[in-house]
Amino acid sequence: MSPEPRDVEVRDETIRLGQLLKLAGVADSGGEARELVQEGAVRVNGEVETRRGRQLRNGDVVEAAGERLRVIV
């Protein structure tokens, strides 16, 4: 996993975790995003997140599939 997160710019103030995973290309579909989250393979700000609908805000860091992503509004 890269030490520096890759910035992912979003249009709104918040974005759901599943949407971010698709937007960043970590998941090809909503179903794939759901599987990653349900398997406990996704961390938000260092903690395992099991809610695909988790609202992310500016500066949140998501780790999944060997990538680190930072939400930028």
Going along the chain from its start, the domains and CATH numbers come out as 6-72 (3.10.290.10)
Residue 1 near residue 67, CB atoms below 8 Å: yes
For residue 25, the model assigns a pLDDT of 97
With a cut of 50, which residues of the chain have pLDDT below it?
none
Torsion of CA 25, 31, 36, 40, to 10 degrees: 150
d(CA 27, CA 3) in angstroms, rounded, equals 21
Beta pairing partners, 64: 42, 67
d(CA 51, CA 34) in angstroms, rounded, equals 9
Q: Give the count of beta carbons closer than 10 Å to the beta carbon of residue 65.
A: 15
For residue 53, the model assigns a pLDDT of 97
